[in-house]
Amino acid sequence: MKKIGILNSCISNVISKMGHNDMIAIGDCGLPIPDETMRIDLALIKNIPTFIDTLKAVLLELQIEEAIVAVETKDVSPSVFDAIKNEIDDVKITLVTHEELKNLLKDCKAVIRTGEQTPYANVILKSGVVF
């Protein structure tokens, strides 16, 4: 049995295979996920697991150099935007439209679907390096 870190085997597997500039997304339960992109569905019931709890878990294992967030998140759900900023510290945030973010999902290694039901609670994380 795995002793520490992410216990979900799908998430752990994707993160372990990510290289520099590879992308993984974490989204609310309404985010449309392209058929060609791996879906890791964690949604259980309303708001379980939450977007932020899932982000925190992923950030324990994934080195990132950029977060891509929809400008609508900042405007419509500022508490989610502030929580993202808080979790990623001084990592660069790139703002795009929600439509652009949805188009980028096809380039992600996977999309983790949470039970979150807050509008625009979505982020794409771009992998960095630890050296």
pLDDT at 2: 87
Query: For the whole model, what pTM was predicted?
Result: 0.97
Is position 98 annotated in a ligand binding site? yes
pLDDT at 67: 98
CA dihedral of 86, 95, 117, 106, whole degrees rounded to 10? -120
* Residue 124: φ, ψ to 5°: -110, 125
The residues, any chain, with a CB within 8 Å of residue 1's CB and separated by 6 or more, are: none
pLDDT at 44: 97
pLDDT beneath 70: ranges in the chain: none
Q: In the chain, where are the structural domains located?
A: 13-127
Provide the CA 105 distance to its chain's centre, in angstroms: 10
Does the annotation count 20 as an active-site position? Answer: yes
The class of domain 13-127 in CATH terms is alpha beta
Is position 121 annotated in a ligand binding site? yes
Dist. CA 29–CA 119, nearest whole Å: 10
Is position 67 annotated in a ligand binding site? no
Q: Which of 20, 56, 92, 106 is catalytic?
A: 20
